[in-house]
Amino acid sequence: MWRQTSGVLCQTTTLGICEKLMAKIKMWGRLGDPLGILREKSLHLVHLSKHDVEFRGDYGTIVDLHGHGFSVTGHASAGTVTSAQVFFGSKEVVDVKNADLDATHIAQELKQVGAVALFSVFAAGDDHLVGSAKSELLDGSIGDDVIQGGAGEDLLLGNAGNDTITGGEGNDDFMFHRGFGVDRITDFEDRGSHQDVIETDRDMYLGMEKRQEGDNVVLDFGSGDEIIIEHAQVKDIGRDDLHFT
């Protein structure tokens, strides 16, 4: 059961605990290639009602926004977006549920920046990103996110916020840049044919300290940036697991 508590929409568990409602974002295939969505330099408003807004691009991209209170003021759509879908032709590539987004901001970004804005506008805030069996780029953007890569060989970016990241099956690349916060990797593997890697900036790599805390390994980069690798041993995290750019 969903309810409002101190301005936060939450779900009451069997223990009476309020769990914050997170936007759930599911993606199929790497956004951009091979679909070519990122060629869309701007998206044009083609339909507007109180509950639905549709944008289209010149190369087959369709963005459908659903919510309430939509209206047109100049070049922006006022209101709140609660769900969204992105299509490339007839193929659905992004599905967003449980959102609480400013329609005005989204409309401005899609018109001015185009498909490049899809990551920043949909993944802002505390999100649950879910991949598929294909190889994806899943970018949590700003917020405390839960990121699940699925079965493909994924590129997973937590970015700012304290994120929980699960790569799933496949050889996954966990990428971090300075200022990402304290992120947790739940299923890092480097055995047999399954070889995950952690990739950081060069200065972060050179200043890293590695330590064991209980059943977990902590990679400490200073300035509050830490990666917690669950169910791992320091001796098993070597140079082949850690890369820098």
For residue 95, pLDDT over 70 is answered with yes
pLDDT for 214-241, tens place per residue?
999 999 999 999 999 999 999 999 888 9
Q: What is the pLDDT of residue 152?
A: 74
pLDDT for 146-190, tens place per residue?
888 877 787 888 778 888 998 888 888 898 989 999 999 999 988
The label of the residue with tokens 């047999």 reads 192
- The answer for residues whose C-beta is within 8 angstroms of residue 210's C-beta and 6 or more apart is 217, 218, 219, 220, 234, 237
Is the CB of residue 52 less than 8 Å from the CB of residue 63?
no
Neighbours of 38 (CB within 10 A): 15
CA 187, CA 17: separation in Å to the nearest integer?
A: 27
Is the CB of residue 68 less than 8 Å from the CB of residue 80?
yes
Neighbours of 233 (CB within 10 A): 11
